[in-house]
């Protein structure tokens, strides 16, 4: 696997890829708002160094969260 460049985003990383669903497992605060625990979001892209998921909510808002703030929802 080629190394990820720190100043670019990607669509996949380890077991994560664009379109996967994630649920917040702890509250998350950003300048533009707050996410509560239990919110379902869709993976838009991955930022690197440190690795963070860029997740999109149903309202179209994009959130950048640390990987330890969410857990993957398995496809059934």
pLDDT digits (tens, 9 = 90+) for 45-65: 988 778 889 999 999 999 999
According to CATH, the topology of domain 10-72 is: SH3 type barrels. (2.30.30)
Q: Are strands 21-24 and 52-56 parallel, antiparallel or unpaired?
A: unpaired
Tell me, what's the pLDDT at 50?
A: 82
Average pLDDT for 11-27:
83
- Whether the CB-CB separation of 54 and 28 falls below 8 Å is answered with no
Nearest alpha-carbon partner for 64 in 50, 76, 25? 50
Residue 45's DSSP bridge partners are: 54
């Amino acid at each position: 696997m080629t190394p990820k460049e720190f100043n670019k985003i990607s669509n996949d990383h380890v077991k994560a890829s664009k379109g996967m669903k994630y649920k917040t497992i702890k509250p998350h605060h950003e300048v533009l708002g707050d996410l509560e625990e239990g919110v379902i979001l869709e993976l838009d892209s991955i930022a690197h160094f440190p690795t963070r998921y860029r997740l999109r909510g149903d309202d179209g808002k994009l959130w950048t969260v640390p990987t330890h703030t969410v857990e993957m929802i398995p496809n059934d």
